[in-house]
Amino acid sequence: MIEKLHQSGFAVGNPELPASSLDELCSTAFDGGGPGSRCLLGVPSVRSAAVRLYDWLIRSGAIETRGVAVQAIAFDKRDGTNWKVTWHQDLLFPFAERVHEAGFELQCIKAGVHYARPPRTILEGMLAVRVHLDDCDENNGPLRVSPGSHLEGVIPSNMIGDRVQALGDVTVCAKRGEAILMRPLTLHASSKAAIPRHRRVLHFVFSNQTLPSALWHSSVGPDGMNR
């Protein structure tokens, strides 16, 4: 799993979260109406899942002990909230306030939360973990990735199409309880679901750098404490 993650920018694994935890996440992390919610690390069930994932990631060698969870997003692609996502990299992350450190760019505010693009050195050390709470196959809008694109740094938007064509793309399916690991710089996309049904995903982001506590919007260490 780790070798594939390094080479391709993504991999699929099983963190073996208990079924009871998956059920609790379904009932507490989703608002029941919209396509999803952001900044969920303050929700106890999400926080607990982040700590469990951290233990798994450390044991597998995917992340270092000094890192932190810095983001958790829930989204559900289903009938009524069925959408297409074009090819992109994940570049903007939430912060507690406007960041004045050098290298943080594209500052903006979304739903009252400050976002910015960290420097490449920080982006390269980040890891997304997409925990699937439902089975996801080829028919309900699975993730698509362009292998190896994470090695090219921040790719200008006008070059994304050419890079996907050159590097190719792969469809990544997952069963309930499995997790897709992905570097945020990996180009990824998804199509509308051909057969819409629940495709609930909790998207965590971990960073291998503990920035000053005033920077991250919220952050959770492997012991469950704020960092």
> What pLDDT sits at residue 175?
97
pLDDT, the chain, mean: 92
Cα gap 67→209, rounded to integer Å:
5
Alpha-carbon distance 166 to 189, whole Å? 16
pLDDT confidence of 226, banded at 50, 70, 90?
low
Residue 196: predicted pLDDT:
83
Mean pLDDT for 132-139 is 95
pLDDT of residue 118: 95
The widest CA-to-CA distance across the chain, in whole angstroms, is: 46
Least confident of 117-126, 147-156, 212-221: 212-221
Whether residue 183 contacts residue 153, with contact meaning beta carbons closer than 8 Å, is answered with: no
* CA–CA distance, 105 with 212 (Å, rounded to integer): 17
pLDDT given at position 93 = 96
Q: Collapsing DSSP states into helix, strand and coil, what is residue 169?
A: coil
Q: Render pLDDT for 150-173 as a digit per residue (tens, 0 to 9).
A: 999 999 999 999 999 999 999 999
Half-sphere exposure of 218 (CA within 13 A, CB side): 17
Report yes or no on whether pTM surpasses 0.85.
yes
For the stretch 15-73, pLDDT in tens is 999 999 999 999 999 876 666 788 999 999 999 999 999 999 999 999 877 778 999 99
Higher-pLDDT residue of 93 and 79 is 93
Domains delineated in the chain:
2-207 (2.60.120.620)
